[in-house]
Structures are given as structure tokens and as C-alpha cells.
Structure 1
Amino acid sequence: MAGFEYDFPSITSSGPLNLSNFPVDALPGEHDGDSSLPGDTFGAVLQYLNQMLMGEDLEQRPCMYQELSALQAAEKSFYDALTGVEIIKVADEKEKERDKFTNGSAKKRNHYRQDDEHVEAGRATKQFASYAEEPTEIFDEALLCSSSNAGSWDLSYCEAKPGRRNNQQIGLTQEPKRGRPRASERKLNIREVVDMRSLLTQCAQSISDFDNRTANQLLNQIRQHSSPHGDGNERLAHYFADALEARVSGMGTTMYTAFSTRVSAADTLKAYQAYILASPFRKMSNILTGKTIQKLTTEASQIHIIDFGILYGFHWPCFIQALSKRPRGPPKLCITGIDLPQPGLRPAERVEETGRRLAHYCKKFNVPFEYHAIARKWETISLEELKIDRSETVIATCLYRLRNVPDETSVTSSARDTVLHLIKKINPDLFVHGILNGTYNAPFFVMRFREALHHFSSLFDMFDKTLPRHDQDRLVFEKEVLGRQSMNVIACEGTARIERPETYKQWQARNERAGFRQIPLNKDIVKEVRAKVKLQYHKDFLVDEDGKWILQGWKGRILQGWKGIVFDALSRWNFVQE
């Protein structure tokens, strides 16, 4: 574990971390321009992301999450680890084969692909220096423009014009449609959608029955009607066909591991911006988390956040900026960043880098800061390593990452429960838990495939309705995030299958068994989130409540859940309610 702290003007370090690589003047401040209104702190996420893209060698690095999860999936196979070069070679050869096939038999049908491929080829030759040339206004358009992002911390703005919906809504594609489609066209589209899902399901069933001949025939049919550049259904079919093909060939883990080396962290972060643009999920999660913690820590002089799955720390700039605006001055903030170790001689390097970025951000806004980095398997961490001071207000968070911790279906003892029991020992004043709501964790392949088909079809449809078809960042996100996740769900088994989500009701039962009880949702925060989603995003996004969970989804399908829970102690429960 490595850590450092500062309390102006001195800096001390137990494992020296140099902040000189992050010039303070390079970070956009809260008063830069007019793109962010007073009280609106979500723009801090884009400023933080922009700083990363312009100031670090991310073009030469793989994405942190993809690298860590690939290592987690492949570590059971020492042979796979030794033959990494062959893994990449095989993956590239298979991709070239698919391109040759789709460019031949499917080129006529997918007439729009040529232009897209030309654009993508040009994109591959871009140098990282181009990011430095991009003005910050690109990021402002996504989340900092006053008309679409006003008042992230001010509910009055959302109430000013209820139901307002205009061309500046986030995530709406502006492609006008004239007239009504003919009946024959509507029937044709419906038939193609049903046939594609049917072909995919039949192929999965054939693979389950070890009928590889039929499976390959069905895969050929799917390839003829799928494309990574088509509509949502065609894209879904393309990536699911990749996963089914990997399963047939017995190379699921190999293909999944190869993903971590195919795209740079810079491209992945740019694609992440497209995801933020298209959906409210992460933005609303930030608002829920930040405001709930703020209400709890109003009088606190020291705040200790223990973040399981910190990655790049995107969810903390807003909170840091909000702390800096407290009338009596900001409290001391300590963050313990926990994530999986990266391969190589410096397993904690990425987690430490996140700490340096957050330290720089805190220094910019005069928030006293201390950071500890832990790069270990979460279930092996001890309470003593967390360095908890009982005079602090302690917050534990885990946002959308516990699904990657092994459960009882993959290992003898549930590492998931072990982590929850560790959080119970921490005895935090608040535990913020965000989950990806999914039912595709069945041990039986066909059942798991059907549920994954429903889940991922919602995501591809969401992008189809909210981002242009030719958007390059959308293509990267679908390929490197959604395609990668579906590859793991469909093509991997045993401990290599790390995408193991549960429903929010299953998490409810698991958390209660660990000794936690939920806090009632703050009605004002929920009201703000509902208003923002209605005002700023596509009409098919939903925000709902069930019990003490707040749920987000698309077209009636719940995709994510969020809740705040506390250990079952009466005094602490009363303190949180007050």
C-alpha cells in the first residue's frame, strides 16, 4: 500500500509521489468561462477527463479497467499469460477473416459501411498530440453547456420549466423524419429483428448441444445480416456472433484477454465521454452519491472515503469541488483507493496515479487531502490496512464493480460476501452501493445467453436512439466495452467469466445477510434526479424507485440501481436520518 498527504503548504509521502507532473495552472478552474453555472459541479468530471487526455501518455497505454479485468480472467491460465503475443496475433487474424467475409458477401447490404471504414482507418493513424489541439469546448458541449447542465446542485432550475424538451437535450440525435413509413417497410423491419434474435438463440442452442456444424451455418447467416456500423440490432448481432464464434472455437478466454491490448486508454476515455453524453446513468449516480455524502458530512471536519474500485476516480472531482465551497472552509478529505493490481513490477502504479490526479485537483481547490492506494484482490484486504481513524466520518463506496468479484457460483467461498463483511467491519457511517442490474449470471449457457441478449439489446438500442450511427467514439465504446463484456459473458466459463451481475433484489438480500440496513432515499435528491432526466435526456430513459433503491433504465428495462445503506446500529441509523 502506498500513500501520501498534504496540508498546505507542506507535502509528505510514505512512498514519494511527485506532483510536479501535474501543473496546477493547467487545470481549468471553477470560474473558467461561462459554460458552467454557479453551483454546477458536474463539469468537474469533464475537466478532470480533459486534463488526463491532454497531460498523460494514455495513447500508449491500455485502458486500466480492461487491463485489470483481463488479468483477472486470465490468471488461472499460466499458459495464456506466457503466450500473450500469440493471443494478440490470433485475435487479429480472426478479425481480418471477419472483415474479409463481411466486405464480400455483406457489402451490398451494408452500403453505408465503406464511408465508415474509411473514417475509422483515418482515425487509427491519429497521433495523441491531436488531443491537445482539441479545445475544451468539445467537452463543454457534452456536459457544461448552461442550457443542458444547469443547476446540477440546484433543484430550482429543474423546477423552473417542467417538462421542457428541446434540441439541446443531451443524447438526442437530430435526424428529422418526414412522413410515415409504409406498412411493408414496418413489417420488413419487424421480421428482420425477430429473425436475428431467433438466429442468435438457435446458434447458442446448437453450441450447447455440441452441434458445431449447425452453429457455424447459423453464424454464416448472422454474419450476412450484421455489421458493427449498422443499426442497433445489426451491431448487437455482430458482437454476439463474435462471442459465439469464440465459444465454438474454444478460445473465449484468449479472445477476451486480447481486448486489453487492442485500444489505448485515451481512446477508451474518449468513448467514455460518448457514454456520458448518451445516457444519464453515471451523471445521476454522481449526483446521488455526492449529495448524499454531503448531507451526511455537513458538520464533519475529517472525511475518509474508502472506494472499492476507484479506477480513474471520475466520481470524485464534483465532490471535491463542492467541499471547497463550504462556508466554514473545506474539511480534510482522505481517500483510500482500492483496485486490482496491474501486471508487472509495479502493481499499484495505476491506483497511485489516480491519487496524484485527485491530489492535484484538491490542491487546486484548497481541500486538504490524504490518499492511500491499495492494489490487491479485494477479498484479501484486512481492516488494519485501511488505516481508519474513528474520529473521522467514514464512507465506504462501491460503484458498479462488485459484479466482477467472484461469487459462490465460481468459487467455493463467496469473495463477494467476504468484501461485504470487510465493509461491515469498517462500520462506516454510510455505504454507497451502485450496481449493474442483470440476470445473465446463470450457470446454464442457453439461459445466460437469452438474458444477455435482452440486456445488451437495450444498451445497443439506447445508443442507436441517442448517438449518430457514424459517431467514432460510439463505435469504440460498443466494440471495446459492450463487445468485450458480451464476449466474457458468452464465451468464457469458470473463473474466467468475471461478468457476473445480480439483480438489485439479489443484492438487497446479500447486503442484509451481511448485516446492513438501508437508509430511506432523500426525496429532494430523487426529485432532482427525476427532473434532470426528464429535462435533459431522451424520453425513453426512466428513473424509478423500489423500496429504498433508486433505479435507472431504458424503455422499461432496469439497467442500474443505487442505494445508501448503513450497518445495523440504532445510533448510527438515527444520525443518518437526521
Structure 2
Amino acid sequence: MTSTMFSFGAFDPVGILENLGSNNELDDVVGGRSGSKQSHYREEDWRDSSFTGTLSSDFGLYRDNLSESDFGFSKYQLQNQEENPLPAHDLLDDLNFEVDCPPLQTCLKEIANLGSKQIGIQDSQDEKEKGHPFLLASLELLKNYGHRLKKLDGDKIVELSSNTSLSRLSEQNLSTEEIIRLAGVNFIQTTSSVGDPLAAFSHPYRLSFSDLSDQEMKDAQLVLLLLFAAEKVYHQEFHRASKLLNQCDYLCSNKGNQIQRLVFYFAEALHERIDRGSGRIPVNTCGKGQKPDPQAQTMNPMQSRIAYHQELPFVQVAQFAGVQAIVENVADAKKVHVIDLDIAFGLQWTILMQALASCYDRQIELLKITAVGTSSKHLIDETGKRLVNFAQSMSLPFTFKSVVVGDVLDLKEELFEIDTEEAVVVYSQFFLWTLIPQPNRLESLMKVIRKTNPRVMVVAEVEANHNSPNFGNRFIESLFFHAACFDCFEASMSREDSNRMAIESIFFGQGVKNILATEGEERMVRTVKIDVWRAFFARFSMIEAELSSSSLYQANLVMKKFGCGRFCTLDMNGKCLLVGWKGTPVLSLSVLKFI
């Protein structure tokens, strides 16, 4: 379908936003210059900002009682900063323990069944199942990441063999995932055998730990401390876990390298799980009553989301490939009606407008966009105004409508006002996962979508399993997923970048806390992988359509436009495109049709 492939050209999201409206309009959208403007972003707006799907509903609330000068240290570090670091022998005492391991088959069976669980809230039972230790619950997940242990040498992937030395691969440092795997394998070995738990690491490919640089060794030891702390939290040995986390607190920082920043937020989440498990934070009050951090208040959430979109390749790769699929599926239509679930900036529709305007072999009579939301109608309408201005600059016939309902259950087909001559397209970018905790609403939404009789539905979702009922599995999955994201930040943005700090803290850090510190209805971040979504869509007679070579070309072209693009990976899972970082999937893009 090369005839319907649009030209990539130069795409500058910041420039487009600035050109869509006046500076005052842009200030209103990105939070404005006053505190009253920032109040637009309340708890219900968390879905709009979840570019990678790991943001809790409490994203606007930050660590309590921190002064501006203390930013960079967690409240737990502040509580212990007057104390001396734990003596080495105390730490060793905590790491010497024995576990009663059930048959390995028991663990493997549960892990194999994770993807087949029905979408919906899955309450954790791990505290009641002491016979299923964190060690074996995590073993196979660690092994699953083993086959992807690799180094990137330019565009060439070099697989590690049993005789390869780390120091001989290249001048590049180990990736965040590789550091975690080194620590993970050492964790498994030291907890399943008698001996010094801080002995020299033994790599699964017989790679010598002595080949690591000093910083890599420190990073691996820091992750090892985190793993041991998570094990203690899993078994509700909160006193020992707290001692280990206190040691982590002295070694990590949200201003350090990617490992130190990653451990910082995971340690924060484990601290909160301890506080909740021991009763210091009552259940159902996660994040409530906390005082915002003064410096975090100065961060502009919307501006940071724009920076994420501009600096990291994942979203743009999916958007361009998705828009190409839309263009191909409405190639013969004079009127195109796009139903967007959770529109956010709507930058993808400026891409579509340019593509439609460049189709010289046909004249588009109307492009209509209907934005669906459950809150913040004024923000959706502001997006609509900017899109109207952009369409006028392209001389493209265009109308915009917002459909805002208080509850997804109130969404009805007639609200879309679909004309029989319109080719309907449904677009969902990181929205469906937000309804996983409410399966009745997710099912209701899909039934309404089916009634619109769309030609195609384009779905972009986070490719991560954060919905496991087992804390151990959830911890490991989340650790590897966020390791890829933080590794990407390190390659794409400076450590002092305020937008990077906002993205990591507000969006990712709060998401990690929700994934690991809460259970039941409070745990809202419940993403699942494409295999689970595929089974879910099949219930509504939806099948995946093939992504054309043009869509894949667009994805590859966008990827190469980024300085860090050579570390970005594109893979196929069936007919679904997986966009990842150094082999770890970050998001999926599916094109679906009803049969």
C-alpha cells in the first residue's frame, strides 16, 4: 500500500503545540504560571499522563514533610540520615537465612498460568502462602529474561556465550537489565546455598564478576540488597527488610545513575508496603494526607509529558505506525470519523491531518474526531481547539466533539452521532489498562465500540504484566520493565533534567508504589501483556490485522530519528508490533478488526 503511505517529514511535538494556539492557551494546557492552573491535574487525570502505564491514581501527591533542600532523599533516608550506616556484619546476619522450597513444578505451573488469568482485580494471597517463597516465585521470571542477555554493538546484536567475558564485548557499560540479572542470579544462588551471601558473584554464563567496573559492581550489589529486602518484605519480616532498605537508602539517589534512581523508587515502594503491613499507614489511605514536596510542586506535569514524547522514541513509534494503519484502512473514504479514547494532547491527529491533506488523488470531505473521557472536559475541549486551528492551517474540513461521561457505563453508541457515510476508526492509547480493575466497565466499553462498526481499532498498550496476584512475580516483572525505561532515560536525558526527574518521580515512581505497596481495589496499576489482551479481544470477535510493510517502515523511520534509536527494538508477536528497549518490550501496537 505504498500509495497510501504518508511522508514522515519533520515532526516536532513542542513546535506543533505552540502553533496550535496562542501562548496563553498553551500555558493553560501545560499547567499555567499560577498554582490555580496546576490544580487542573487532579487524581482523576492520572490516565492522561500514563505514557508507559505505570502511574498510580495518587500521582499528584508526593513524599511528605520534605523541604526543597532535601529533594533527592526519600523520607526514609531523612529519618535515618543521623544514624550510622549498618555495620557489615549486621547486614550479613540479615542475609544468612534458609527457605523451605516447594517443588519447582509448583512454581512453574503458577507462572505459566499468569497470562491466562481473567482480566480484573486479582487479590494477593502470597502472605497466606508462606510455603511459596519469593525465591522460587521469581526464579523462572529471572530465567525468562536470561535469553535476552545481550550487548548491542552498533546495529549488530552479539549474543553472550558461555566463554565470553564482559570486558571483551565492547567499551559500552552493561545495561540496567544486565546488572539486574547479575544481581538476580547471585541472589538465587546465595539464598539457596550455605555460604557468604556477599561472596563474589557467579554469572550464569560463567562471566567473571571481576570483569565488572567499580561502578557496575556497586550497582549490582545495590540491586542485590534490594532483592534481599523484597524477599524479607514478601515473608513479612519487616524489621530485617527495613534494615536492608535503610542500607539501600544510603546508596541510592533519585539524582544518581539509572540503577541508583531505579532502586530509589523501588525502595520507597517497599518502605510503604512495610508501613502498610505493620499498620503505620492504614489501609485505604495510600497517599492521602501527604504534603506535596515543594520542588516537585514546581515541576510541570504536562510539560514533562511533552518532554517524554519528544525525547523518548516509544510513543512516536507507535503513533506513526498506528496512523499509517488508519490511513490504509480509510483509503477509499471521503468522510473519516475517529473515536479517540482518552485523547491527551492529540498529537497523533496532527500526523493524520498531514497524511490526509497530502492525499492528492482524493479530496477528504470531512475529518471528524470524537474524544471520549470521564473527566476534565475543559482540557479535552482545549485539545479540540488546538486541533481545529491546526486543521484550518492545513485547509482540511474538520470537526471536533468531546463526549464526557461520569462513568464508562454511561457511554452509549448514540453519543457519537455517527453518519452512515463515515468510515469509523477507534483509537486507544494506554487507556484500556486503566479499566482492568473494573472489568464490567471494560466489557461495557467494548460492546459500545462494537456497535459503532469501526473499520479498524488501533490499540497501544503497555507491554508488562503488573497484574500478577503474587507479590514476588509482580516485583520482578516491574523491576525489569522499569529497568528498561530508566535505562532509556539515562541514554536520552541528562541526569539533572527537571523533566526527567518529574517523569521518574510523578509518573513512574508513583506507579511503582501503587504496584508494590497496595493490594485489592487500591492497586490500580494492573497492566497485562498482549497475550492476555489477545484472548480478551477474541471474546468480542476481534482479530488482529496484519501491520503493513508501510506501517513497519514508519515505525523504523521514526525510531532512527532519535539519537538513542539504535537501542530501540522492534519485534513482532503474532501480528502485534512490540516496541522495546534493548530487547525488553515496553509497549505493544495492535490493529484489530471485528468479524
TM-score relative to the length of structure 1: 0.68
CA distance in 2: counterparts of 1:179 and 1:298, whole angstroms? 46
For 2:414 and 2:457, locate their aligned partners in 1 and report how far apart those are by CA, in whole Å. Answer: 19
Per the alignment, residue 545 of structure 2 pairs with 519
Structure 1 residue 219: deviation in Å? Answer: 1.5
Please name the residue that 1:54 is paired with. 23
Aligned to 1:221: 247
Amino acid at match of 1:40: G
Assess, with a 3 A threshold, how the Cα gap between structure 1 residues 245 and 50 changes in structure 2: closer, same or farther.
farther
* Aligned pairs for 1:470-509 within 5 A: 470-509=496-535
Matched, 1:42 2:11: yes
| Residue pair 1:463, 1:474 contacting (<8 A) in 2 also | yes
Secondary structure at 2:300 match in 1: helix
Establish whether residue 244 from structure 1 lines up as the match of residue 213 from structure 2. Answer: no
Closer/same/farther in 2, CA of residues 223 and 485 from structure 1, 3 Å limit: same
* Partner in structure 2 of residue 350 of structure 1: 379
Quick check: 1:278–1:466 contact (8 Å CA) kept in 2? Answer: yes
Query: Any idea what SS the aligned residue of 2:328 has?
Result: helix
Amino acid corresponding to residue 492 of structure 1 in structure 2: T
User: Whole-Å Cα distance in 2 between the matches of residues 386 and 425 of structure 1?
Assistant: 11
Over residues 399-447 of structure 1, what are the superposed CA-to-partner deviations in whole Å (9 max), with x where a residue is unaligned?
Answer: 12211113xxx45x54323322222222201100111100121112222
Cα distance per residue 1:314-363 (max 9 Å; x no partner)? 22122123333333544312111112324xxxxx2222222222222223
CA–CA distance in 1 between the matches of 2:482 and 2:425? 32
Give secondary structure in 2 for the equivalent of 1:315: helix
Q: Determine whether 1:307 maps to 2:340.
A: yes
8 Å CA contact retained: 2:541, 2:594: yes
The one of 384, 392, 409 aligned to 1:363: 392
Give the superposition deviation at 1:543: 0.8
1:550 equivalent in structure 2: 577
**What SS class does the counterpart of residue 285 from structure 1 fall into?**
helix
Determine whether 1:68 maps to 2:44.
yes
Maintained 8 Å contact 1:43/1:318: no
Secondary structure in 2 matching 1:443: coil
Match of 2:367 among 333, 353, 361: 333
Is the contact made by 1:403 and 1:500 (CA closer than 8 Å) also made in structure 2? yes
| Contact persistence 2:225–2:244 (CA under 8 A) | yes
Q: Please, which moves more after superposition, 434-443 or 201-210?
A: 201-210
Where do residues 188-227 of structure 1 align in structure 2 (5 Å cutoff)?
A: 188-227=214-253
What code does the residue aligned with 1:447 have?
Answer: N
Q: What do residues 131-176 of structure 1 show as CA deviations (whole Å, max 9, x unaligned)?
A: xxxxxxxxxxxxxxxxxxxxxxxxxxxxxxxx999xxxxxxxxxxx
Match of 1:142 in 2: none
Instruction: Quickly say closer, same or farther: Cα 1:92–1:350, change in 2 above 3 A.
Output: farther
| Residue 421 of structure 1 pairs with residue 447 of structure 2 | yes
2:314 is the alignment partner of 1:281: yes
In 2, distance between residues paired with 1:461 and 1:518?
31
Q: How many residues align?
A: 447
| 1:255–1:52 distance in 2 versus 1, CA, 3 Å | farther
SS at match of 2:347: coil
What is the distance in 2 between the residues matched to 1:394 and 1:211? 55
- Unpaired runs of 5+ in structure 1? 1-36, 73-80, 108-162, 166-176, 343-347, 569-578
Separation in 2, partners of 1:91, 1:389? 55
Q: Which amino acid aligns with 2:386?
A: R
Residue 451 of structure 1 is matched in structure 2 by 477
User: For residue 15 of structure 1, what is the aligned residue in structure 2?
Assistant: none
Partner of 1:390: 420
Residues of 1 paired with 2:341 and 2:59: CA distance? 28
Instruction: Give CA-to-partner distance per residue, 1:361-411, whole Å, 9 cap, x none.
Output: 2233222222221233334312222222221010001012211113xxx45
The answer to whether the 8 A contact 2:318-2:579 is kept is no
* Counterparts in 2 of 1:193 and 1:544: CA distance versus 1, 3 Å: same
| Alpha-carbon distance in 2 for matches of 1:425, 1:500 | 27
Mark the CA change 1:419 to 1:201 in structure 2 (over 3 Å): closer, same or farther: farther
User: Is the contact made by 1:106 and 1:225 (CA closer than 8 Å) also made in structure 2?
Assistant: no
Q: Which residue of 1 aligns with 2:331?
A: 298
Q: Distance in 2 between matches of 1:515 and 1:265?
A: 47
Distance in 1, Cα, partners of 2:298 & 2:358: 32
Q: Equivalent residue for 1:403? A: 433
Deviation at 1:274, TM superposition (A): 3.3
How far off is 1:276 after superposition? 3.0
1:238 CA displacement: 0.6
- Matching residue of 2:404: 375
Distance 1:266 1:235, change over 3 A: closer
Flag the 1:460–1:421 CA change in 2: closer, same or farther, 3 A.
same
1:381 maps to amino acid: L
How far the C-alpha of 1:190 sits from its partner, in A, is: 4.1
Residue ranges of structure 2 left out of the alignment (5+ in a row): 1-5, 49-56, 86-153, 157-169, 175-207
One-letter amino acid matched to 1:303: V
The structure-2 alpha-carbon separation of the partners of 1:204 and 1:336, relative to structure 1 and needing over 3 Å to count, comes to same
Deviations 1:84-134 (A, max 9, x none): 99x779465897744646876799xxxxxxxxxxxxxxxxxxxxxxxxxxx
Which residue does the alignment assign to 2:461? 435
User: Secondary structure of the residue that 1:389 maps to in structure 2?
Assistant: coil
Paired AA for residue 401 in structure 1 = F
**CA distance in 1: counterparts of 2:305 and 2:408, whole angstroms:** 25
Deviation for aligned residue 1:482 = 1.2
Q: CA deviation at 1:484?
A: 1.8
- Tell me if the contact between 1:253 and 1:488 (Cα under 8 Å) persists in the aligned partners: no
CA distance in 2, matches of 1:469, 1:179: 18
- 1:298 Cα deviation from its structure 2 partner: 2.7
Per the alignment, residue 162 of structure 2 pairs with none
Contact 2:580 2:587 (C-alpha < 8 Å) held by counterparts? yes
Change (3 A) 1:383 1:528: closer
CA shift for structure 1 position 512: 1.3
Name the residue aligned to 1:559. Answer: 586
Task: Report the CA distance shift for 1:70/1:547 in structure 2 as closer, same or farther (over 3 A).
Answer: closer
1:434-491 superposed Cα distances (whole Å, 9 cap, x missing partner): 1110012111222211211111111111211232222222122111111121121112
Shift of 1:287: 0.9
Cα distance between partner residues in 2 of 1:198 and 1:52: 50
Letter in 2 for 1:490: L
Identify the residue that residue 22 of structure 1 maps to in structure 2.
Answer: none
Greater displacement, 180-189 / 282-291: 180-189
What are the equivalent positions in structure 2 for 1:159-174 lying under 5 Å apart?
A: none
Write the letter of the residue equivalent to 1:470: E
Instruction: Give the conservation status (yes or no) of the 8 Å contact 1:232–1:460.
Output: yes
